[in-house]
Amino acid sequence: MLNRRHLRIKALQTLYAFYQAETKDIQGFEKSLLQSVAKVNEAYLTVLNLTIEVAQYSIVDAQERASKYIPTEEDLNASTRIAENKLIKLLQTFPSYTEEVKKLKIDFSNDQEVIRTLFKDFCATPEYKAYCTEAEHTMSVDREILIFFVKKLLPQSVLFEQMMEDRFINWPIDKESVISMMVKTLKEFGDTKQKLAPISANWLDDREFMMDLFKLTIRNNGEYQDYISSKTQNWDPERIAYMDTILMKMAICELLNFNEIPVKVTINEYIDLSKEFSTPKSKVFINGILDKILIDLKAEKKIRKVGRGLVE
């Protein structure tokens, strides 16, 4: 699921695109921001559908092996047990899942080699072999083999990574969230609880946080730039990474407008983001400038946090 860090990243990416654009169509970029979140859900459904397709491929594989000119005994007795996986069966007929897959037109007709290779790799694992030979299959056992496939096998597949990167431009960033949504589904979905993983723990609140962070950073751009400029007078503007400026504007926005988020959390979050999205020296630079700006904001009594201990 998406957490606040991922939502900050989504807002950061869209702000960067907005500031670089010649036409400042705020509503258009707001729509783009929401679409970037929708793409995470689409990627989740894609991986879920792929998992089911790989399980179903066991039937195709068994038929192909049995039809060899001189099949071995092993070929004639190839297991299709994964296709009968209880969880797979439930998911296949779950209306919310099937309707979304149809609506999004998720299809692997051009990626059959990915499915075939994943299945072959799956078959070669000791975990899969043990699963196929177990005398009795409980729902728990059926869950565990699918979780193994998603957590252990998929991340090791170069073909899978290439396919997802071709389909989803932000896959390297969204991958962690998608896998966590998959694992949550495989752990919790069952006869009595049939629900796909939500995009976040509380999407209404998280959506408001993400959209407000984006809009308020733009709305107060001049004010936030003034704070930054006052603390970087001895710096050559051309030496300040553009991404650093956006990160600091977002941090100032969060300090001033999101009363429930502790100051230290905000500062640390944007320092961490600088490590991933900016230069090697950015974390030290951003930390120093934000510390100086924070002193001014406190002196001006603009930091208003709700709850004991949130300011320090």
Q: Give alpha helix (H) positions in 220-241.
A: 221-230
Single-letter amino acid code for the residue at 151: K
Where is pLDDT greater, at 78 or 209?
209
pLDDT of residue 60: 92
Give the model confidence (pLDDT) of 32-56 as tens digits: 999 999 999 999 999 999 999 999 9
pLDDT at 26 over 70: yes
More confident residue, 147 or 69: 147
Q: What is the residue-wise DSSP string for 44-80?
A: HHHHHHHHHHHHHHHHHHHHHHHTSSS--HHHHT---
Could you tell me the pLDDT band of residue 137, with boundaries at 50, 70 and 90?
confident
Q: What does the alpha-carbon distance between residue 141 and residue 76 come to, in Å, rounded to a whole number?
A: 25
Instruction: State the average pLDDT for the chain.
Output: 94
The answer, yes or no, to whether residue 289 has pLDDT greater than 80, is: yes
Mean pLDDT of 195-220: 96
Please report, rounded to a whole number, the percentage of residues in the chain having pLDDT higher than 90.
84
Q: What is the pLDDT of residue 108?
A: 97
Query: In whole angstroms, what separates CA 185 from the centre of its chain?
Result: 15
pLDDT digits (tens, 9 = 90+) for 167-190: 999 999 999 999 999 999 999 998
Average pLDDT over residues 127-154: 94
Least confident residue range of 75-84, 101-110, 199-208, 221-230: 75-84
Rg over alpha carbons for the chain, rounded to the nearest Å, is 24
Angle at 246 between CA 294 and CA 308, to 5 degrees: 35
- CA distances (Å), origin 258, targets 30, 100, 144, 214, 287: 19, 34, 40, 12, 19
Q: Is the pLDDT of residue 83 over 60?
A: yes
Average pLDDT over residues 213-221: 98
Task: Name the residue among 3, 4, 14, 1 with its Cα closest to residue 169.
Answer: 14
pLDDT of residue 69: 86
Spatial distance between the Cα atoms of 93 and 56, rounded to a whole number of angstroms: 14
* Cα 115 to Cα 60: distance, rounded to the nearest angstrom: 11
**What angle do helix axes 242-257 and 263-277 make, rounded to 10 degrees?**
160
The answer to whether residues 203 and 6 touch, using CB atoms and an 8 Å cutoff, is no
Cα 128 from Cα 132, distance rounded (Å): 6
- Residue 63's pLDDT is 87
Q: What average pLDDT score do residues 221-238 get?
A: 91
Report how far apart the first and last C-alpha atoms of the chain are (Å, whole number): 29
Instruction: Find out whether 56 and 91 touch, Cβ atoms under 8 Å.
Output: no
Is residue 257 within 8 Å of 217, Cβ to Cβ? no
Mean pLDDT, range 147-168, rounded to an integer = 97
**Confidence at residue 78, expressed as pLDDT on a 0 to 100 scale:** 78
Judged against a pLDDT cut of 70, whether residue 309 lies above it is answered with no
Give the residue among 145, 160, 147 at the shortest CA–CA distance from 43: 160
The pTM of this model reads 0.92
115-119, 135-139, 303-307: lowest mean pLDDT where? 303-307
